[in-house]
Structure 1
Amino acid sequence: MSTHAPVRTQDFAALAERSLPAPVWDFLAGGSGEELTLAANRAALDAVTLVPRVLTGGAGRTTGADLLGTAAALPLAVAPMAYQRLLHPDGEAATARAAKAAGVPFVLSTLSSVPVEEITALGADTWFQLYCLRDRAATTELVRRAERAGCSALMVTVDVPVMGRRLRDLRHGFALPPEVAPAHLDPAGTGRTHDKRAGSSAVAEHTAQAFASDLDWDDLARLRADTRLPLIVKGVLDPRDAARAAALGADAVVVSNHGGRQLDGAAPGVDLLPAVREAVPDGCRVLLDSGIRSGTDVLKALALGADGVLLGRPVLWGLAVDGEQGVREVLRLVESELRSALTLSGCAGPADARRLGVRGAAR
């Protein structure tokens, strides 16, 4: 740790970059292609400005919110992120413990390096993120496994028919070390994640073999019929897709471009957020993913119509720097920033944010 305590989540980024091998840092930090969308996510959020209210009385009383029936301490969930044991030996277990301590849901990836049963045993409110596999029976078994383990929601990612072309990983010939593997997939088929070859990504090659690349709306309808868990559809940008997902019974949609890691040149999620909010019924929750770095970013998302956000890379920065304690500190910083932003904008809590004036974004 630095002699100066981090005072914002980005301070953890600098510490994490210094502590990690370059290939691992680039796997964490990088985007696809020329990383245009990766940069655009931040530029779009930075361009949003808020019009605070004054003399409202009791501003900043609470940061709590309801997220799919969960009384969360913050209007956020920890985003699903793969292979967290790359960053710390405890991996997803450390992150889940920190999320539980912070009172927010933890979303566990299909590509977790720790199995779902070990995560739910820690007591965190756990949502399971699903990648649909070529083997449809294996996909169904993943859903059943998440249900048996006690997950409280299912989040299906729909924007990865194939993994985006991530140039940093190709330059490194990125592969997982022997001690890290996808805990939920067939061990006999995951050895290729460790096969390092110049100019290729072993992780991308593995997902190309494992993931279904031909998902359609019928698949989503079957998944909706196949589970009683709340269903969240992640990876939506077009309001027409959001509306169709809601019509098929999705309980929530996540406006996301996968953190700039899929289609390079895709629009920033925050730019589409207001239109998505208008396209879905009030009963369908809307979450924003991609580019969130601070409590002020959370407030901007709420003001533009989101019910909450997914927090991604900052959590991994904290994990890389100091394990569970690092993640706890990242979440504490976001909570402190959000409380300050709510107070200064005249909002008693997250529910008031939608009444704020917003500039610099489509509405």
Structure 2
Amino acid sequence: MSDDRDDLRSHLAGSGAPDRRAFIQFLASSPLLTSAGVSTLVGALTAGGGALAQSYDVLRAPASKVGDVIDSPEQALNVMDFEPAAKKALPPAHYGYLASGVDGDETLRANHEAFSKIRIRTRRLIDVRKIDTSITILGQTYNSPIMLAPVSSQGAFNPEAEGAVARAAKVQGHGMILSTVGSTSIEDVTKDRGAPVWYMLYPTDDWNVTEALVKRAEAAGAPAIVLTVDRQGGRNTETLFRLPRDDTRDCKMCHGGGFANEVSRKPMFDDLDVSKVNNLYGTGMTWEFVDRLRKIVKGKLVLKGIVTHEDAKESLNHGVDALIVSNHGGRAEESLEATIDALPEVVKAVDGKIPVLIDGGFRRGTDVLKGLALGASAVCIGRPYCWGLAAFGQPGVEAVLKIMQREFETIMRQVGAVKISEITSEDVTRG
């Protein structure tokens, strides 16, 4: 093996820049890429001097031709590569559901564009060879601060739905939140995840149904009930309404009118009497509803959709255990307020008394670091992992998580943080 390393160094260190095609052919035939793997190659490139330390980066990209849309998870260089693949794989109406914001989708775009106004301060001469990205939140420990946000009806993206997502989350130890109107039951998701998952509650306007959903989730081991509070004003999802015009299928075959038909394929409503339910989102909820829910939730109670300091402070008065700063991925209201911009005032308002999570527009590992630096205990992603699910099933979700985790670990090292607690507001500035 030492001879192979010498050959590789000689090949790269020869006079002039090495021909790229010849270099790739050399690598393809090298035993360094078989039994020893890429890690051995990295060692070969970096041993005996540092001049070649970055040369292995070329191996991140496949040598084969890649078209405008990736054909496999391995071809993706970032999570955005999965969106065109998802669009290609999905019927127009289903892609429209995933892609839609509200009105002109401006808040959806603002969620991500706001990250470009936050700069990262990098530090030097810190030993960051070993880092720890684990977090403990509400008594649960995860290997990464990147959690999977609740997304409804994942069976519209892939037949294995939330089951595939749960298995992918298990591989790397990510936390997961299941939606009330997911395509998979909490019992099955918990089994696939191999650990309890949080349960996001759409309460409906029938307290008996609300109570039954909470009891079932907690019986399945859910350590947290996450009440969504950002869907009470209604919404205008224009992209969702527009794209079905290009869909040749008859949507009425699956989507009938009325609440009972809406949830007939949602397993969390199996065996429940929904005859008195008119609204899934609990229109009319007030802080008194939170108090009533607090009395029946045995575990942790989380509010998802808080974006102001007023509501954050009020949450403390009602026994809430954590908050998620969220505008429903830009599909709650067309406020133009990015969640990353709302985060600091919410964090300041709770003053460390309870954890604050955030979702909305996270696409890069650098975004994750910015969220943590501004006070979030964890960040949640939604669309990216659903793109991976739609395009390639479980392997697609795994790839999305690996890419974001890899990017996060890279920027974490570059700011000189070896554990999550070392990421602070000093690591970022605003442009």
1:118-168 C-alpha deviation (Å, 9 max, x unpaired): 112222330000011111110010000001111121111001115421012
Q: Distance in 1 between matches of 2:252 and 2:429?
A: 43
Q: Distance in 2 between matches of 1:65 and 1:188?
A: 36
1:25-73 C-alpha deviation (Å, 9 max, x unpaired): 1110110011110111111112111112222333661211112221111
**Structure 2, unaligned runs of 5 or more:** 1-69, 256-263
Q: Distance in 2 between matches of 1:12 and 1:343?
A: 26
How far residue 360 of structure 1 moved from its aligned partner, in angstroms, is 1.9
Residue 136 of structure 2 corresponds to residue 136 of structure 1: no
Q: Distance in 1 between matches of 2:189 and 2:144?
A: 21
Q: Distance in 2 between matches of 1:289 and 1:210?
A: 22
Secondary structure of the structure 2 residue equivalent to 1:121: helix
Residue 178 of structure 2 corresponds to residue 178 of structure 1: no
One-letter code aligned to 1:108: L
1:96-131 C-alpha deviation (Å, 9 max, x unpaired): 111111201111000111111211222233000001
Residue 119 of structure 2 corresponds to residue 55 of structure 1: no
Q: Distance in 1 between matches of 2:104 and 2:129?
A: 42
Q: Distance in 2 between matches of 1:21 and 1:270?
A: 32
Deviates more, 1:83-92 or 1:247-256: 247-256
Secondary structure of the structure 1 residue equivalent to 2:267: coil
Q: Distance in 1 between matches of 2:298 and 2:367?
A: 32
Q: Distance in 2 between matches of 1:183 and 1:232?
A: 23
The alignment of Structure 1 onto Structure 2 pairs a total of residues equal to 346
* TM-score (norm: length of structure 1): 0.89
After the TM superposition, which residues 331-350 of structure 1 pair with which residues of structure 2 at under 5 Å, given as runs?
Answer: 331-350=401-420
One-letter code aligned to 1:225: K
- Identity fraction in percent: 33
Q: Distance in 1 between matches of 2:252 and 2:191?
A: 26
How far residue 177 of structure 1 moved from its aligned partner, in angstroms, is 5.9
Q: Distance in 2 between matches of 1:60 and 1:13?
A: 32
Shift in CA distance, 279/85, structure 1 to aligned 2, threshold 3 Å: same
* Residue aligning to 2:48: none
One-letter code aligned to 1:43: E
Shift in CA distance, 83/225, structure 1 to aligned 2, threshold 3 Å: same
The answer as to whether partners of 2:209 and 2:273 remain within 8 angstroms in 1 is no
1:77-101 C-alpha deviation (Å, 9 max, x unpaired): 1000000000110101111111111
How far residue 230 of structure 1 moved from its aligned partner, in angstroms, is 1.1
Q: Distance in 2 between matches of 1:225 and 1:55?
A: 52
* Residue aligning to 1:147: 218
How far residue 355 of structure 1 moved from its aligned partner, in angstroms, is 4.7
Residue 232 of structure 2 corresponds to residue 156 of structure 1: no
Q: Distance in 2 between matches of 1:266 and 1:177?
A: 36
The answer as to whether partners of 2:177 and 2:199 remain within 8 angstroms in 1 is yes
* Residue aligning to 2:164: 94
Secondary structure of the structure 2 residue equivalent to 1:156: strand
**Structure 1, unaligned runs of 5 or more:** 192-206
Q: Which has the higher contact order (CA 8 A, sep 6+)?
A: 1
The answer as to whether partners of 1:59 and 1:342 remain within 8 angstroms in 2 is no
Deviates more, 1:108-117 or 1:174-183: 174-183
* Residue aligning to 1:233: 303
Q: Distance in 1 between matches of 2:234 and 2:306?
A: 16
Q: Distance in 1 between matches of 2:388 and 2:302?
A: 26
Deviates more, 1:61-70 or 1:165-174: 165-174
* Residue aligning to 2:331: 261
Shift in CA distance, 187/163, structure 1 to aligned 2, threshold 3 Å: farther
Q: Distance in 2 between matches of 1:63 and 1:74?
A: 5
The answer as to whether partners of 1:106 and 1:124 remain within 8 angstroms in 2 is no
One-letter code aligned to 2:417: C
The answer as to whether partners of 1:233 and 1:250 remain within 8 angstroms in 2 is yes
How far residue 357 of structure 1 moved from its aligned partner, in angstroms, is 3.4
Say what the alpha-carbon RMSD is for the aligned residues: 2.3
Q: Distance in 1 between matches of 2:336 and 2:109?
A: 11
Q: Distance in 2 between matches of 1:279 and 1:12?
A: 37
Q: Distance in 2 between matches of 1:190 and 1:20?
A: 31
Shift in CA distance, 95/163, structure 1 to aligned 2, threshold 3 Å: farther
One-letter code aligned to 1:270: I
The answer as to whether partners of 1:277 and 1:286 remain within 8 angstroms in 2 is yes
Q: Distance in 1 between matches of 2:236 and 2:135?
A: 36
Shift in CA distance, 135/264, structure 1 to aligned 2, threshold 3 Å: same
Secondary structure of the structure 1 residue equivalent to 2:279: helix
Q: Distance in 1 between matches of 2:384 and 2:278?
A: 27
How far residue 283 of structure 1 moved from its aligned partner, in angstroms, is 3.0
Secondary structure of the structure 1 residue equivalent to 2:85: helix
Whose radius of gyration is greater, 1 or 2? Answer: 2
* TM-score (norm: length of structure 2): 0.76
* 2:286 alignment partner, one of 216, 223, 239: 216
Residue 317 of structure 2 corresponds to residue 247 of structure 1: yes
The answer as to whether partners of 1:30 and 1:261 remain within 8 angstroms in 2 is yes
Secondary structure of the structure 2 residue equivalent to 1:232: strand
Shift in CA distance, 217/86, structure 1 to aligned 2, threshold 3 Å: same
* Residue aligning to 2:182: 112
* Residue aligning to 2:103: 33
Q: Distance in 2 between matches of 1:243 and 1:60?
A: 38
